[in-house]
Structure 1
Amino acid sequence: MKSIFKKTHVLFLAITSFVAFSCNDDDDGGPAVPTSNIVELAIANDNLTQLEAAVIKADLVDTLSGDGPFTVFAPTDTAFQALLDVLGSNYNSIDDFDTDGEIALLRSILLYHVVPSQVLANDLAAGDVSTALTDNSIEIIASGDTFVIGDASDTNANIAATDVLATNGVVHVIDKVLLPQAALDFVATLKDIVGIAQADTNFSVLVDAVIKADLVTTLQSEGPFTVFAPQNDAFVALLDALGPNYNSLDDFDEMAEIDLLRNILLYHVVPAQVKSGDLAAGTVATALTDNSIEVIESGGTFVIGDASMTDASLVATDVEATNGVVHVVSKVLLPQEAVDFAAMQGM
């Protein structure tokens, strides 16, 4: 599976302070004696705040404060941020796991980091290790003189610190969030705006238009964007209105026509995320410079006005993408230059 994580690193000082806090030497200079359980260690360390938040959100505080013993492979804040970056603009923090399904997924990810026994660094050996997530294992992989941790993805986790002892087990700090197969399947369902259009045959003409206008890279970038997306029948209606010289997008073959097509598409893009609940009557600037659409109240909902005399109805709203949101509209929105062009064709 394609790698989805950036390589992350843990600051040496943060790890050193973590180890120093978690284990205090006896007055006689003997072995360190743990004084905190696994949850308390996470709460006390500034580099594990996302792990703490996730454990609380997933209702695992009591579980990981129990007798154990447990081994926890603890991802740093940097590791959690890398995961959030992959999930896209709808996931800016652990708080964005707010549906029952998302919380259940978060819980399964966390349990995938827990081995229901104590495994110290010296006990690590190459092979599969069962986790507290039923029927899911992680893999200990020899790498030079040390080990890395393999999950269901093809990117392994490096061990940044080992043998942080707790009263109910041991913590090893790692540099990525381990993902079980269910989490990878969830990531695969998340698509950018272009991916959403490509996955629905009702947008095949829109996809062809985006490709022809060389806007694929733009609409796959970070955004966030709001796209008012016309379905195929909306493009067919526009082509019919343009007359016999325009039977398909292939007839946009001159540079001026392709530029016009590009501008029409940019007119459907708002360079910000605007969900249906954020809509309010008024003009909204689009990605086509110096051109705005108008949000118009109509019978308890909204329609979208362009430079023509015909407004577009909202067919569907709030189709979430990793880089914004898509609203489906009933017609192709036309900026003034497109209206002028259509008039020249006898529209």
Structure 2
Amino acid sequence: MKYSHITSILLYSILVSALFISCQDGQSKNNRQDNKTKHTADSLAEIKKKEIEIEKSKPKKAEDIEISKDLQYDKYTLEDTYPYKDTVRHFQWDKIKERLAFVENFQDGKSVYGVLQNYQNSNGEAPTISNFKRDVYKRVTDSLGTERYQAAPLYSDGETKLPTIYGKDGWLVKLQSSDTLEPVKVEGVSFNGVWEVPKKYLKTIGDSVIFDKVIVVDVTNQNICTLDRTEKGWVVRSMNPSTTGRHKPPHAQETPTGMYVIQEHKSKMFYYKDGTKTYEGYAPFASRFTAGAYIHGVPVNNPKGSIVEYSSTLGTIPRSHMCVRNASSHAQFVYKRSKDFQTLVIIID
């Protein structure tokens, strides 16, 4: 009887131990399964994170650009496509998306930016390049057709005697060396190549600027639109008729295509009568982006005259002297929303 009791106790102990081991083993298996699941989830999250980072690092294409409309200026608004005489005109959104993709791609968050400057040769006339040409305006030009007047000289690496090409006033660059050096090495954003430029022709604007406001002028369709970059993509703020520069030597010039930085604002931009130094009138709310080219309101052919709001010639054919004419209230809208050295002007054809 004594041995039977002891045996029962031993059997009970063995059974409890077996149950305990079984529970521990089951719990261990569950923990391993949970850890495996967690590890798999963590791995998937890490892979997804890397995929997002890779996707963000890819250069944007036109089809990646989202454009929506939320107008802040709604006078004289044009449709995407609209009639003009016996044809139709339109906003070239595909081409605009290409330019906006470029704007997003060149901004890497670490570059120091600068702007080439030589308005009215204020920083000194650029040296004459070898093998120069003269255009129909009898001005010296480089092989690309860029005029010497109001331009910055651009030298090939190591060249010190003569510049290779000219850089237009208002062109955007990235600094590749300190702006305390002479000359400064720059990489073109508005143009191609790496060049050296005398520092007196360069305005450094730093590495903190974000180009999120863009004005697009279409010299073919004679229209203008303004856009902001937001968290939801690019948003159109206005769509209006404009009138650009015409080719009429010796005074009137076409509005040059390309990308420029707004450099200066004038509430009244006074202009001379052609071929004289006599003021003929003024253009209101003028925002200068290259050389003598401004986005401005309707010209007033009287230096003391009142502002004119609108002209029936807007949106028709090129008529200006390189500038971009707008309804005066739209020019004021551009004038107020754009900031010097923070707003881009893109001229397309």
Q: TM-score range by the shorter chain?
A: under 0.3
Q: Which has the larger radius of gyration?
A: 2
Q: Kindly indicate which of the two structures has a greater share of residues assigned to strand.
A: 2
Using the size of structure 2 for normalisation, the TM-score is: 0.24
